[in-house]
Structure 1
Amino acid sequence: MHNPVQRKIRLGFFIAFSVIIAASFFSYLVTKNLLDNAGRLNHTIEVSKRLETIIKQLKDAEAAIRGFSLTNDSSFLHPDMQERSNSLQKEYEALRSIVIDSHRQQQHMDTLKTLLAVKYQQLQAGISSGSPRTERLSVTEGEKTMDRIEHVVEDMMQIEDTQLHEKTELFHFFSSLWIPVIFISSIVAILIGLYSYITLTKEFKLQLHIESKLKSYQRDLQQNIQLLNKSNQELEQFAYVASHDLQEPLRKISTFSDRLQVKYKDQLPPDASQLIDRMIVAVGRMRILINDLLLFSRAGRVAPESITEVDMSALLQNVLSDLEVALQEKNAVVHSAQLPIIEGNITNFQQLFQNILTNAIKFSQEDRQLEINISSQLLKGKEINIVKENRWDETFCRICIEDNGIGFDPDYAERIFLIFQRLHGISEYSGTGIGLAICKKIVDSHQGYIMAYGYPGKGAAFVIILPVKQKK
Structure 2
Amino acid sequence: MHNPVQKKIRLGFFIAFSVIIAASFFSYLVTKNLLDNATRLNRAIEVSRRLETIVKQLKDAEAAIRGYNLTNDSSFLRPDMEERSNRIADEYHALRRITAGNPRQQEHLDTLRRLLDIKYAQLRVGARRDTPRKEKQSVTEGERIMERIERRVQAMMHIENAQLHEKAELFRFFSAIWVPVIFISSLVAILIGIYSYITLTREFRLQLHIESKLKSYQRDLQQNIMLLNKSNQELEQFAYVASHDLQEPLRKISTFSDRLQVKYREQLPPDASQLLDRMVVAVSRMRVLISDLLAFSRAGRTAPESVAAVDLSQLLQNVLSDLELSLQEKNAVVNAAELPVVEGNATNFQQLFQNLLANAIKFAHPDRRLAINITCQLLKGKEINVIKENRWEDTFCRICIEDNGIGFDQAYAERIFLIFQRLHGVSEYSGTGIGLAICKKIVDSHQGFIMAYGYPDKGATFVIILPLKQKK
Name the TM-score, length of structure 1 as normaliser: 0.88
Question: How far off its partner does 1:125 sit?
Answer: 5.0
Distance 2:89 2:285 in 1: 135
AA aligned to 1:466 is: L
Asked whether 1:430 is paired with 2:423, we answer no
Match of 2:414 in 1: 414
Distance 1:249 1:461 in 2: 40
Change (3 A) 1:49 1:379: closer
Instruction: After TM superposition, list the pairs within 5 Å mapping 1:131-280 onto structure 2.
Output: 139=140, 141-280=141-280
Moved more, 56-65 or 269-278: 56-65
Question: How far off its partner does 1:236 sit?
Answer: 0.8
Summarize deviations over 1:260-296 as a string: whole Å, max 9, x none: 4444434433322222222222222222211211111
Residue 302 of structure 1 aligns to a residue in which SS? coil
AA aligned to 1:323 is: L
Match of 1:466 in 2: 466
Question: How far off its partner does 1:198 sit?
Answer: 2.1
Question: How far off its partner does 1:10 sit?
Answer: 2.8
Residue 147 of structure 1 aligns to a residue in which SS? helix
Change (3 A) 1:200 1:264: same
User: Over aligned residues, Cα RMSD in angstroms?
Assistant: 2.8
Question: How far off its partner does 1:159 sit?
Answer: 1.8
Name the TM-score, length of structure 2 as normaliser: 0.88
Residue 339 of structure 1 aligns to a residue in which SS? coil
Match of 2:296 in 1: 296
Distance 1:265 1:13 in 2: 96
Instruction: After TM superposition, list the pairs within 5 Å mapping 1:335-350 onto structure 2.
Output: 335-350=335-350
Question: How far off its partner does 1:130 sit?
Answer: 4.5
Match of 1:404 in 2: 404
Summarize deviations over 1:117-152 as a string: whole Å, max 9, x none: 444555545985648xx987764x344443333322
AA aligned to 1:455 is: Y
Question: How far off its partner does 1:237 sit?
Answer: 0.8
Question: How far off its partner does 1:199 sit?
Answer: 2.4
Distance 1:92 1:32 in 2: 30
Distance 2:340 2:80 in 1: 119
AA aligned to 2:167 is: K
Distance 2:394 2:269 in 1: 68
Match of 1:281 in 2: 281
Distance 1:15 1:159 in 2: 45
Change (3 A) 1:230 1:65: same
Question: How far off its partner does 1:453 sit?
Answer: 1.9
Residue 309 of structure 2 aligns to a residue in which SS? strand
Moved more, 145-154 or 112-121: 112-121
Distance 2:94 2:380 in 1: 86
Instruction: After TM superposition, list the pairs within 5 Å mapping 1:278-427 onto structure 2.
Output: 278-427=278-427
Match of 1:43 in 2: 43
Moved more, 236-245 or 32-41: 32-41
Moved more, 372-381 or 405-414: 372-381
Change (3 A) 1:292 1:114: closer
Change (3 A) 1:175 1:267: same
Residue 302 of structure 2 aligns to a residue in which SS? coil
Distance 2:122 2:371 in 1: 135
Question: How far off its partner does 1:79 sit?
Answer: 4.3
Distance 2:360 2:245 in 1: 33
Distance 2:372 2:82 in 1: 129
- Unaligned residue ranges in structure 1 (runs of 5+): none
Distance 1:181 1:282 in 2: 95
Match of 1:109 in 2: 109
Match of 1:16 in 2: 16
Instruction: After TM superposition, list the pairs within 5 Å mapping 1:40-79 onto structure 2.
Output: 40-71=40-71, 73=73, 75-79=75-79
Distance 1:252 1:79 in 2: 150
Change (3 A) 1:220 1:88: same
Moved more, 143-152 or 342-351: 143-152
Change (3 A) 1:466 1:114: closer
CA contact (8 A) 2:365 2:405 kept: yes
Residue 427 of structure 1 aligns to a residue in which SS? coil
Change (3 A) 1:56 1:407: closer
AA aligned to 1:279 is: M
Question: How far off its partner does 1:40 sit?
Answer: 2.1
Distance 2:205 2:160 in 1: 66
AA aligned to 2:332 is: A
CA contact (8 A) 2:65 2:126 kept: no
Match of 1:444 in 2: 444
Residue 393 of structure 2 aligns to a residue in which SS? coil
Question: How far off its partner does 1:422 sit?
Answer: 0.9
Change (3 A) 1:469 1:72: closer
Moved more, 237-246 or 371-380: 371-380
Question: How far off its partner does 1:232 sit?
Answer: 0.9
AA aligned to 2:21 is: I
Distance 2:236 2:103 in 1: 108
Residue 396 of structure 2 aligns to a residue in which SS? strand
- Unaligned residue ranges in structure 2 (runs of 5+): none
Change (3 A) 1:212 1:69: same
